[in-house]
Amino acid sequence: MQFSVTILGSNSALPTSERFPTAQVLNASERFFLIDCGEGTQLQLRRNKIRFNRINHIFISHLHGDHCFGLIGLISTFSLLGRKPDLHIYGHEDLQRVMQPQIDYFCREISFKVVFHSIEPSKSDVIYEDEKISVETIPMKHRIPTCGFLFREKPRKKHVIRDMLDFYQVPLKSIPLIKNGEDFITSEGEVVPNEKLTKPAAPPRSYAFCSDTAYNEKIIDQIRGVDLMYHEATFLDEKESLAKSTFHSTARQAGLLALKAEVKKLIIGHFSTRYFDLDPFQQQAQSVFPNTQLAKEGRIFEIPYIPNL
C-alpha cells in the first residue's frame, strides 16, 4: 500500500555537481509515475534503484529544458533495453512536435510505442485515471504554459467485519454489495445496517506537485488538505522581486500557500544555483509552515497507509 515520492532532482535550470534538474517518481502501490524529466534523470533512477521498466507514464509540467531535456535519452535507453509496453507521456501539445523528430532520428528502430497525450495547462482536467488513482492538472502561473499535477487515490471499499458476517450468516454473494455500502436483509426480513457489518476504509491519500510558478492563491481550493505538497521555492526572501519578475516563488511564499491550503506536509525544491547552503530555504518556509522539508536528491517522502481500526 505504498504511496511515496522519491526526489531525483531538486535544482532549477543550471545543474550542480550535487543537484540535478527537476524529476520525481511517485510510487502508488507499486505503480511508478515519473514527474518531469530533467537531465540526469536516468542516472538518478539508477542511483535510487528504480527499475526503468516500472515506468509507464511520464508527466511533463512545461517545456523548459530543465523539466524535459532528459526525455530523449530515457526513451532511447528504454529501446536499448528492449522495452515492449507503450510509454505514455502527458504534456503541452508542443511536446510531441518537439520530441517526435528526435525519436524518428535517434530511435529509428524503437521497440515500443510512445503515446503522447496533449494537455491544456491553463485549466484543471483529469488527464489519467485507473481503478486506483486519478491525476488532474493544476494551472500554474509561469512564463510559458505550465501545470502541476494532483495525484489522488480513489476511495477504497469498506472493510467487512468477519465476525458480524458470520453472526448474520451473510452469503458470499452479498459481500461485494456490503463493501459498497448497502445494508443486508436476512432471510427473516431483518434489515442489518451497513455500519454494523463494516468499518471505514483507510482514507485516500493525495500528492500535489506544484511546478514552476509565481505565488498563486487561485489553486488553493484545488489542493486544499492534500497529504503532501511539493512547491517550487527558487529564491529566498531577499530575491522576492526577482521571483516575481521571473514568475517563480520564494520559500516563504511556498510556506504561506501551504498554510492557506491547509496541506499536511510541504516539501520545497527547484532551488536557484546561486545558493549553496539550502538550510535558509527550510528556515524561511518553516517560519510560516513548520511541517516543511527540503526536496533533496534521494529523499523519499512517504504518506503512510493508516487503516481505520
Please enumerate in sequence order all residues whose Cβ is within 8 A of that of 36, keeping only pairs 6 or more positions apart, or say none. Answer: 9, 22, 23, 24, 59, 60, 61, 67, 68, 211
pTM: 0.90
Query: What local confidence, expressed as pLDDT, does residue 176 receive?
Result: 81
Closest CA to 211 of 127, 282, 281, 268: 268
Cell output for 14: 543550471
CA distance 211 to 230: 8
Residue 36 located in a structural domain: yes
Query: What local confidence, expressed as pLDDT, does residue 132 receive?
Result: 93
Q: What are phi and psi of 266, to 5 degrees?
A: -120, 135
CA distance 59 to 230: 15
Residues 192 and 121 in one domain: no
**Model confidence at 201: pLDDT above 80:** no
98-106 average pLDDT score: 97
Residue 309 located in a structural domain: no
pLDDT grade for 220, boundaries at 50, 70 and 90: very high
CA distance 180 to 175: 9
**How many angstroms separate the first and last alpha carbons of the chain?**
16
Query: What local confidence, expressed as pLDDT, does residue 162 receive?
Result: 86
Residues 22 and 76 in one domain: yes
Coil, helix or strand at residue 79: helix
Residue after which a domain boundary falls, among 170, 199, 228 = 199
User: Mean pLDDT score of the chain, rounded to an integer?
Assistant: 94
Residue 188 located in a structural domain: yes
Q: Which domain holds residue 73?
A: 3-156+202-302
Residue 308 located in a structural domain: no
On whether 64 is known to bind a ligand per the annotation, the reply is yes
Please enumerate in sequence order all residues whose Cβ is within 8 A of that of 224, keeping only pairs 6 or more positions apart, or say none. Answer: 261, 262, 263
On whether 142 is known to bind a ligand per the annotation, the reply is yes
Residues 215 and 248 in one domain: yes
Residues 102 and 58 in one domain: yes
Residues 42 and 187 in one domain: no
**Model confidence at 309: pLDDT above 70:** no
CA distance 31 to 196: 34
Residue 10 located in a structural domain: yes
Residues 148 and 271 in one domain: yes
Residues 65 and 167 in one domain: no
On whether 248 is known to bind a ligand per the annotation, the reply is no
Residue 307 located in a structural domain: no
In the chain, how long is the greatest CA-to-CA distance? 76
pLDDT grade for 1, boundaries at 50, 70 and 90: confident
CA distance 233 to 240: 11
**Model confidence at 152: pLDDT above 70:** yes
Residue 235 located in a structural domain: yes
Strand pairing report for 133-139 and 147-153? antiparallel
CA distance 147 to 300: 23
Residue 82 located in a structural domain: yes
Cell output for 91: 504534456
253-261 average pLDDT score: 98
Residues 217 and 260 in one domain: yes
pLDDT grade for 103, boundaries at 50, 70 and 90: very high
Residues 56 and 166 in one domain: no
Residue after which a domain boundary falls, among 175, 199, 223 = 199
Q: What are phi and psi of 152, to 5 degrees?
A: -130, 130
**Model confidence at 143: pLDDT above 80:** yes
- Domain total in the chain: 2
Residues 174 and 255 in one domain: no
pLDDT grade for 308, boundaries at 50, 70 and 90: low
Residues 189 and 259 in one domain: no
Cell output for 208: 500535489
On whether 159 is known to bind a ligand per the annotation, the reply is no
At 57-79, the pLDDT tens digits run: 999 999 999 999 999 999 999 99
CATH of the domain at 227: 3.60.15.10
Strand partners, 210: 231
Residues 36 and 164 in one domain: no
Residue after which a domain boundary falls, among 139, 173, 199 = 199
pLDDT grade for 185, boundaries at 50, 70 and 90: confident
The catalytic residues are 66
On whether 66 is known to bind a ligand per the annotation, the reply is yes
Closest CA to 137 of 145, 26, 103: 145
